[in-house]
Amino acid sequence: MGSAVKIYDTTLRDGAQAFGVSFSLEDKLRIAEALDDLGIHYLEGGWPGSNPKDIAFFEKIKKFPLKNIRVAAFSSTRRPRMKIEEDKNIQTLLKAETPVYTIFGKSWDLHVLEAIKTTLEENLGMIYDTIAYLKKFADEVIYDAEHFFDGYKSNREYALESIRTAAQAGADCIVLADTNGGTMWYELEEIVEDVKRNLSVPLGIHTHNDSDQAVVNSLVAVKKGVVHVQGTINGLGERCGNANLCSVIPNLVFKMEIEAIPKERVKKLSSVSRLVSELSNKPHDEHMPYVGENAFAHKGGVHVSAVKVNPKTYEHIDPRLVGNERKISVSELSGRSNILEKAREMGIKLDRTSPAVREVLKKVKELEAQGYHFEGAEASFELLFKEMTGEKKKYFDFLGFNVVTWRQDGRVYSEASVKVKVPDEVAKKRGFEESFEHTAADGEGPVDALDKAVRKALEKFYPSLKKVRLADYKVRILNGQAGTRATTRVLIESTDGERRWGTVGVSSNIINASWSALVDSLVYKLYLEEKERA
CATH code at 419?
3.30.160
What value does the mean pLDDT of the chain take? 90
- Lowest-pLDDT range, 123-137, 304-318, 391-405, 432-446? 304-318
Please tell me whether residues 389 and 406 are part of one structural domain.
no
CATH number at 140 reads 3.20.20.70
Tell whether 498 is covered by a domain: yes
- Lowest-pLDDT range, 44-48, 76-80, 156-160, 479-483? 479-483
What is the per-residue pLDDT for 332? Answer: 39
Please tell me whether residues 90 and 152 are part of one structural domain.
yes
The candidate with the shortest Cα–Cα distance to 93, out of 56, 28, 49, 60, is: 49
Please tell me whether residues 147 and 229 are part of one structural domain.
yes
- Lowest-pLDDT range, 232-236, 414-418, 424-428, 529-533? 529-533
Q: Is the pLDDT of residue 284 over 90?
A: no
Span 404-431, mean pLDDT? Answer: 92
CATH number at 380 reads 3.30.160.340
Tell whether 501 is covered by a domain: yes
Tell whether 62 is covered by a domain: yes
Span 482-497, mean pLDDT? Answer: 83
What is the per-residue pLDDT for 39? Answer: 97
What is the per-residue pLDDT for 300? Answer: 56
Domain closes at, from 263, 279, 295? 279
Please tell me whether residues 370 and 507 are part of one structural domain.
yes
Span 295-302, mean pLDDT? Answer: 72
Please tell me whether residues 424 and 472 are part of one structural domain.
no
Tell whether 295 is covered by a domain: no
How confident is residue 483, by pLDDT bands cut at 50, 70 and 90?
A: low
- Residue 527 CB contacts under 8 Å (≥ 6 apart), including other chains: 382, 383, 386, 392, 393, 395
What is the per-residue pLDDT for 356? Answer: 78
Please tell me whether residues 90 and 239 are part of one structural domain.
yes
Domain closes at, from 217, 244, 279? 279
Please tell me whether residues 452 and 525 are part of one structural domain.
no
Span 500-518, mean pLDDT? Answer: 92
Tell whether 298 is covered by a domain: no
- Residue 436 CB contacts under 8 Å (≥ 6 apart), including other chains: 399, 419, 420, 421
What is the per-residue pLDDT for 327? Answer: 72
Number of compact structural domains in the chain: 3
Please tell me whether residues 457 and 472 are part of one structural domain.
no
Kindly report, residue by residue over 313-340, the tens digit of the pLDDT. Answer: 889 999 999 999 887 643 334 456 656 7
What is the per-residue pLDDT for 126? Answer: 98
Measured CA to CA, the distance from residue 372 to residue 366 in angstroms comes to 9
Domain closes at, from 418, 434, 461? 461
Owning domain of residue 22: 6-279
Tell whether 306 is covered by a domain: no
Span 67-94, mean pLDDT? Answer: 96
Q: Give pairs for 455-463: CB < 8 Å, separation 24+.
A: 455/522, 457/418, 457/419, 457/420, 458/396, 458/420, 458/422, 458/522, 460/430, 460/432, 461/396, 461/422, 461/426, 461/427, 461/430, 461/432, 461/437, 462/395, 462/422, 462/426, 462/526
What is the per-residue pLDDT for 522? Answer: 95
Tell whether 275 is covered by a domain: yes
Span 194-221, mean pLDDT? Answer: 98
Please tell me whether residues 436 and 479 are part of one structural domain.
no
Q: Is the pLDDT of residue 22 over 60?
A: yes
**pTM as predicted:** 0.72
What is the per-residue pLDDT for 329? Answer: 47
Tell whether 138 is covered by a domain: yes
Please tell me whether residues 114 and 162 are part of one structural domain.
yes
What is the per-residue pLDDT for 298? Answer: 76
Please tell me whether residues 522 and 378 are part of one structural domain.
yes
Please tell me whether residues 126 and 221 are part of one structural domain.
yes
